[in-house]
Amino acid sequence: MKGYGMRKLAVVTGASGGLGEQIARQLAARGYDLVMVARDQVKMERIASELVAAHGISAIIEPADLSQPGSAAMLYERLTARGVVPDVFINNAAFGMTGSLINSDPDQLRGMLQLDVISMTELTLLFGRAMRARGQGHIMIVGSLSAFQPNPNMAAYGAAKAYALSFGEAVHVELAPKVIVTVLTPGLMDTGFNAASGFQTPPGLRRTMLAPEEVARIGLDALFAGKSGVVAGRINAIMAFGSRFLSRHAAAKAAHRMGQKTTQQING
Ligand SMILES: NC(=O)c1ccc[n+]([C@@H]2O[C@H](COP(=O)([O-])OP(=O)(O)OC[C@H]3O[C@@H](n4cnc5c(N)ncnc54)[C@H](OP(=O)(O)O)[C@@H]3O)[C@@H](O)[C@H]2O)c1
């Protein structure tokens, strides 16, 4: 499937809600056919039929649980067998885990790292290799502001996003200029992320929140401009830049204090 009607084709992981849904919506508005990947088939079908009707594009739904070992390679094989040759690949699906590492469920931790790190890496390799062979393509990796400092009580998620940032910036250099890899760094957004990750937005940071529509637009503009990365939002960009001027230990302690304050405020 090279766009059913010779349109360009984009694969979006985590397209059933939140930021991924908004990226899928904006790619459809830009005329891309879609392959939507996530676990919730019903939600994706509802979004897809709306986008097909609104934009005259084609959309296929590919349910997958990318937290399972081997799932990324299986997804790539299934899509290749269906003749899917994407021009754009969006690595967006992820969840976080909140709380002290020693209280974490090891199975949930393994699933998170499989989704946020291993599947993301394998999909970038497989689709990046195919794009390189064709001499063109665009890959987005969705990171997080938590990549810029250690994150007590979200230690593994923050480390996974630090990996995503470093990995994406490195692969950008390997594949440019024909294949573009862009790391989109969102700050806080009001999506399903908090519920999926047990996270509570610190009240002091609520004003930094951006709508996922806005973050999607910033990310896609950076991707099609060929940038290695972009931080969504001016305050978030200042926070990312400012992290350079604090020792990593001091930054970790500040993040820890803010998390504890949030818990106290929310629990009264
Ligand atoms: N929200 C924030 O404050 C925030 C801040 C910084 C970075 N981010 C990043 O932004 C990206 C999008 O998150 P979001 O805020 O849009 O969260 P969200 O609303 O929870 O969306 C996450 C998406 O990932 C999919 N997903 C989750 N587990 C999956 C699995 N095992 N296999 C396949 N798909 C899976 C979900 O669909 P199903 O449940 O249907 O599988 C959903 O479509 C993530 O990379 C996240 O780390 C979010």
Residue-range domain boundaries for the chain: 9-267
Tens digits of per-residue pLDDT, 150-205? 999 999 999 999 999 999 999 999 999 999 999 999 999 999 999 999 999 988 88
The residue to mutate among 42, 92, 121, 209, having the most atoms of ligand 1 within 8 angstroms of its beta carbon, is 92
Tens digits of per-residue pLDDT, 85-142? 999 999 999 999 999 999 999 999 999 999 999 999 999 999 999 999 999 999 999 9
Tens digits of per-residue pLDDT, 26-39? 999 999 999 999 99
> pLDDT value at position 183?
99
Report the side by side order of strands in the sheet with 88-91. Answer: 59-63, 33-38, 9-13, 88-91, 137-142, 179-185, 229-231
Residues 6+ apart with CB under 8 A from 62: 35, 36, 37, 75, 78, 79
Please work out whether the CB of residue 117 comes within 6 Å of at least one atom of ligand 1: no
Cα 20 to averaged position of ligand 1 atoms, centre (Å): 7
Closest C-alpha residue for ligand 1 atom 46 = 94
Please work out whether the CB of residue 232 comes within 6 Å of at least one atom of ligand 1: no
Instruction: Report yes or no: 141 and 183 within 8 Å, Cβ to Cβ.
Output: yes
Q: Which atom from ligand 1 is nearest to the alpha carbon of 43?
A: 40
The residue to mutate among 95, 167, 200, having the most atoms of ligand 1 within 8 angstroms of its beta carbon, is 95
**Which is nearest to 37 in space by CA: 112, 114, 123, 108?**
123
CA dihedral 167→154→156→113, nearest 10 degrees, is: -80
9-267 CATH pick, 3.30.1330.40, 3.90.1150.10, 3.40.50.720, 3.30.420.10: 3.40.50.720
How large is the angle between the packed helices 155-175 and 120-134, nearest 10 degrees? 10
Closest C-alpha residue for ligand 1 atom 16 = 18
Cα 95 to averaged position of ligand 1 atoms, centre (Å): 5
> pLDDT value at position 258?
83
**Predicted model pTM:** 0.96
Cα 90 to averaged position of ligand 1 atoms, centre (Å): 12
Residues 6+ apart with CB under 8 A from 267: none
Q: What is the DSSP string of 78-139?
A: HHHHTT---SEEEE-------S-GGGS-HHHHHHHHIIIIIIHHHHHHHHHHHHHHHT-EEE
